[in-house]
Amino acid sequence: MSELDDVMGEVALANRMLVEMGLADSSTIERGHVSFRLPGQPDRFVIKALGPALSMTYKEHMVAVDTNGFKVGGPKALNLPNEVKMHSCILRERPDVNSVVHVHPRYTVLMSVLQEQLGPMCILGNRLALNVVKNAEMGTLRAGDPPHR
């Protein structure tokens, strides 16, 4: 099996895991996807094509894309997801990043819309967070912007 085939299989599994882990709600609509940079070709990555439900995503639903956002591999009938530019910009501008996970977990979306701070809710949470977890500032990633760390 080639590196591309291996990565396509792993990315398909990662997409299915989003549903299994409750990060993508399968009871309504499964939104989100995982992309992963090809180790031997750092200017290319694999992402789930537009259409298949996350829980039903397999290797044959994957496409290869360059870091400019253009499809460079995968079945001709498959289209790129709408958010491919977000993935390509991040992977192009941040060579230290190898994967992007984009999901819409119900309660995370709720908290971001409310612009509220979330405090730890259990003893383990208190150990992990000395202070409240703050919302990240909303912004736009543009080509040429310095990395935010």
52-to-32, 70, 127 alpha-carbon distances in Å: 11, 20, 39
pTM score? 0.74
By the 10 Å C-beta count (0-12 exposed, 13-18 middle, 19+ buried), 21 is classed as: exposed
| Confidence (pLDDT) at 149 | 44
DSSP 74: S
Which pLDDT band holds residue 143 (cuts at 50, 70, 90)?
low
| Confidence (pLDDT) at 109 | 72
Which pLDDT band holds residue 106 (cuts at 50, 70, 90)?
confident
46-96 pLDDT, tens digit each: 999 998 888 899 999 999 999 999 999 999 999 999 999 999 999 999 999
Range name among 2-6, 9-13, 115-119 with the lowest pLDDT average: 115-119
Rounded mean pLDDT, 91-120: 82
Same domain assignment for residues 42 and 96: yes
Rounded mean pLDDT, 120-128: 61
Structural domain boundaries, residue 64: 3-104
Rounded mean pLDDT, 115-130: 63
Six-digit token string for 104: 């819409």
Same domain assignment for residues 134 and 69: no
Same domain assignment for residues 120 and 83: no
Same domain assignment for residues 28 and 88: yes
Same domain assignment for residues 91 and 122: no
Rounded mean pLDDT, 24-32: 66
Task: Determine, yes or no, domain membership for 95.
Answer: yes
Q: For 59, phi and psi rounded to 5 degrees?
A: -50, -35
Task: Determine, yes or no, domain membership for 25.
Answer: yes
Task: Determine, yes or no, domain membership for 49.
Answer: yes
Instruction: Say yes or no to pLDDT of 27 above 80.
Output: no
Same domain assignment for residues 54 and 112: no
Instruction: Say yes or no to pLDDT of 41 above 70.
Output: yes
Same domain assignment for residues 91 and 110: no
Rounded mean pLDDT, 23-50: 86
Amino acid at 129: A
The strand pair at 32-38 and 99-103 is best described as antiparallel
Number of domains in the chain: 2
What does the DSSP assignment read for the chain?
Answer: --HHHHHHHHHHHHHHHHHHTTSS-TTS---EEEEEEETTEEEEEEEEPSSS-GGG--GGGEEEEETTS-EEES-TT----TTHHHHHHHHHH-TT--EEEEE--HHHHHHHHHT--B---SHHHHHH-SSPBPPPPP----TTPPPP-
